[in-house]
Each structure stands twice: as structure tokens, then as C-alpha cells.
Amino acid sequence: MVDPPLSDATVLITGGAGFIGSRLAHALVSDNEVTILDDFSNGEAGRVPGEATVVEGDIRDRESIAETIRGADVVFHQAALVSVAESIEDPLESHGRNATGTLTLLEAARDHDARVVLASSAAIYGRPARIPVSEDDPKAPTSPYGLEKLTADHYARLYNELYGLETIALRYFNVYGSGQPANDYSGVVSVFVDRACDDDPLTIFGDGKQTRDFVHVDDVVRANLRAATADRAGEAYNVGTGTRVTIAELAESIIDVTDADSELVYDDPREGDVRHSEADITKARTELGYEPAVSLEAGLRMLAENGGTRR
């Protein structure tokens, strides 16, 4: 991990007890005043660094935001309902957290003139017109989740244009790494690694030829730190690696690094699933100085050595 370029700042991390937010909190806490707002629907208190101030509250609740944003120089907005499948099951709930929650936060940031770095998503592109996809390519989300993130991403730009608020949207591709939950709504890497560690079968939805750009959480943290101090505002950046693998290849690699006896089982394709995804990271490289440092092979090996994402 590089030294955080942000120091002596007052920072709010929404979703700071979650997978990405808590890693960000650890990277920032020694040099900054860190407050975390999390409703613990998915977050875990054990992941939060002891030095951070933790407030339990909902991202849609204006009072909780007002209480935690006071004095903040930078807000890292990570709170979200992250599952595409869950957004299809309950779009109203998902919209509330991902779209209305972001708008509520942007309003508070406007009152307090805090810079906002927000977690957007590759899901906003839907079926990309070309691969690798770059920031100005058409957006055609295939799930409520993708549409909500597109709304949040667009609001961030609009708040910059209308109110001069400093916002940066980071469009995460498929983030993985230790600390990611491994349940029905989690990312495929954590599900596969945990199952492989127990020699259980890995279920592939569809033909397994769909592709994803898997980016390690440490690289995502680095991108956030860069965005916090970048001399840019109202911009959006892809945060991936610029490479992609099929889900079947991913499963094979995970079986390989964990030395598992797991079988591959094929099931129906998942509704709303994007077929191919790969980031063009030229803009983040050029404007943020972002450079992914963890290869998928190295990242999977780290997970396997730790015995899965839970441990």
C-alpha cells in the first residue's frame, strides 16, 4: 500500500464498516480524523480501526449524515446495496439506498462544502458498446443496481456543474480481496474461494464465458486516495485493471491456487447479468496517476494463503 497522500484531513466514510470502506479507513486513520457512518446491514464492527469514530445510521437519514459530515473535508461514499441480484429482487429498497441515499449525502456535502469521492460502478455501462469500455461510452444498465449507480454518478457530475461541489465518481469494476463477505449476494471471487477452500462445488451461472475485470481492493483504495487530492472535479473514472477473464477461467484459477477438489457445476444464467466487462483505465492513469499493482494471480494467491475471504 502506498502512503496515503491525504493527511491532517477530516474524513467521513459512509459504509466504512463494509468491505471497501473499512480498508479505506485503515489506510487513512493514522494521518487523518476518520468518522464512519454505517448501518451495519452488511458492515462488521470488527473490521473498523479502533481510532475511527463510528456512528450507526442509515445513509437515507439526514440527521445521521448531518451529525457525521460536520467539519469533513472529504467524504468517501461507499455505503450501498452492492448486489445486482438483490436489486432485481427489491428495486425499491435498492433505489433508496443507492440513489436516494447518494442524493441525500450530496445535499449534505453541498451544505458543508465537502469534497465527495463516490463509489460508482461498471454496471452503469450495462452491455458495453465496445470492450474495453471507456468513460464516455454509452450507458445502458441491465439492472436496477446499474441504473441506480448511473443516477448517483450523474448526480455527482450535476452537483459539480450546478453548485460547484467537488465530486469525483469512481466506477469500480469487480472488486475482490480479503474481508469481502461470501454469501448469496457477494462477489463471485469470495464465493468461489470460500467454497474451494472447503472442496465444495463451484456453481457457474450460464456458460461461464462471460468476462469480468477483477480489481483488488488495495488498488481500489489507492484510486480513492488519489481522487481525494486530485486537481479535478466533476469527473468520473474507471477503476479496474484493463484486463478480463471468463468466469470459467476464474473458477479454474481458484481451484488451482487453493489446490481444491471442487467440481464445476453449471446452472441457468443470472437475470440482469452483463456479458462482458473490461475497463479502459487510460483516463484514471493519466489524470489520477492510478496504476493497478495487484495482478489477479497474486490477489487470488493471497486469498488462498489466508484460507479464503472470511479468515
Q: Which is nearer to ligand UD1, 18 or 187 (CB)?
A: 187
Instruction: Establish whether 145 is a catalytic residue.
Output: yes
Candidate ranges 4-12, 25-33, 167-175, 289-297; the one touching ligand UD1 (CB under 6 A) = 167-175
- Rounded CA-CA distance 185/164 in Å is 36
Cβ nearer to ligand UD1, comparing 158 with 185: 185
Does residue 247 touch ligand UD1 according to CB under 6 A?
yes
Size of the site for ligand UD1 (CB under 6 A): 23
**CB of 34 or CB of 196, closer to ligand UD1:** 196
Does 84 sit near ligand UD1 (CB under 6 A)?
Answer: yes
Window 183-222: contact mask with ligand UD1 (x via CB under 6 A): --xxxx--x-----------xxx----x-x----------
Q: Least distance to ligand UD1 from the beta carbon of 119, Å?
A: 8
Binding ligand UD1 (rule: CB under 6 A), the pick from 83, 178, 253, 309 is 83
Q: How far is the CB of 180 from ligand UD1 (least distance, A)?
A: 7
Contacts with ligand UD1 by CB under 6 A lie at 82-84, 121-123, 172-174, 185-188, 191, 203-205, 210, 212, 247, 270, 273, 277
